[in-house]
Structures are given as C-alpha cells and as structure tokens.
Amino acid sequence: MRRLAVPFLLAAVLTGCSSTEVGKPSAGDQTGSAPTTGTSAGTAPVNRPKAVDLKTLDPCSLITPEQKTALGLKSANAGTPLPDYGEGSKSCNVSFDVRTYLGTMHTLLNGGVDRLKKTVGESKLTSLQVAGYPAYLTQRESPGSVGGCEVYIDANEGQLLLVDAFGGLGETSATTDGACERAKAVAGAVAATLAAK
C-alpha cells in the first residue's frame, strides 16, 4: 500500500506545479528563447543599441565633422595603441579648441566590464548611460596635473571603448569637473555614431 501512495503523492505535487488559470504561467508555458544581447558568462543580458566589434574599428572614425564642430575639437588623429588594452587595440588623440584640455579614445579588446571592475575597482566606477549604451565613469589621479576623467562604453561583449579627457600640461585652469564634462560630451557623440554603424 505504501508503494502505491508514493506515486500518487508525487503526481499530486507535480499537478500543483502546472497551473491552467488564465494569465498564470505554468511550467509547460516557459519558452526557451534567448536574449538578443548578453554575455556568455551567464550574467544578466546587456542592452545595447547595437553591439559593435571594436577589433576593426578606428576610434577616430567615430567623430563626424559636425560633432567635431559641436564639441569644440581642433583635431582627432591616430595615436599610439597601448599594449595593456589588447592585441589590435587602436587609439585616437583628441585636442580641443580650448587648449586647457586634451583627450584620447582607445578600443579595449582584452576584457569587458567584469575586467574593468577588477582592474579599476567597482567602488571607483559610476554607472551611466551614454547614447543608450551602458557606461562607467571614473576619475583618475595624475601627479602634477589636475588628473582626468574616463568614460568606458560597453560596446560589445568583452570589449570597451574608452573616452577620456584631462588637463593639458601646465594648464592651471583645468579642473576634474571640466575634464569629466568634456569626456562625457565626446563619449555621447561617439556612442551615437557607434549605434548608427
């Protein structure tokens, strides 16, 4: 008798897991559709306007002539890539009409947000949205100058676009707030171009 009771009890429990009420999902109603964006590490999906592979991207190409004028940029020229940012990384040096500030853009190809949080420190990052992309802002200390401001744009899984601004050498009127204002403005412009690619 005891052997018969166990299957009936199990059947009763399983029946309770499947609801047929209108508007109430049952275990059989779940779909296996995968998110269109996200990470393979099993973390929450990342919502981006468009995931762009930065391996073939020239960061200088993200600044249009109209944006250059609107942002008060004098130039945007190819720079020297930094080995720390991964093989194939590219760099772009930016100068403003107001010579108080300079900036750079880098493609980071050797790790995404998880690596950023480990290397910079999660407590030093401020989350923000830049033209629909998740992004992170941090301020950088620099001996002998005002320091700088960095905006990391989560452009693709395992890849970041870094936009920074900092006080020029010997520019005593530069401020960290001024650097952050310029870094965020350039980041917003290039992220909009990125989303349209």
Residue 184 lies in a domain: yes
DSSP code string of 53-69: -GGG--GGGGS-HHHHH
Q: What is the CATH number of the domain that holds 128?
A: 3.40.1000
pLDDT of residue 40: 39
Residue 90 lies in a domain: yes
Residue 14 lies in a domain: no
pLDDT of residue 167: 87
pLDDT of residue 172: 79
pLDDT of residue 46: 86
87 CB-contact burial (10 Å; exposed 0-12 / middle 13-18 / buried 19+): exposed
pTM of the predicted model, to two decimals?
0.76
Residue 20 lies in a domain: no
Over residues 144-168, the pLDDT tens digits come to 667 799 999 999 999 999 999 998 8
pLDDT of residue 143: 62
pLDDT of residue 35: 32
pLDDT of residue 113: 95
List the domain range (segments joined by +) for residue 131.
54-196
- Ranges of the chain whose pLDDT falls below 70: 1-44, 142-145
Residue 48 lies in a domain: no
Quote the distance between the C-alpha of residue 128 and its chain's center: 9
Question: CA 172 → CA 3, 61, 98, 99, 113, distances in Å?
Answer: 86, 31, 13, 11, 33
Residue 49 lies in a domain: no
Residue 151 lies in a domain: yes
User: What phi, psi does 76 have (nearest 5°)?
Assistant: -145, 100
Domain count of the chain?
1
Residue 191 lies in a domain: yes
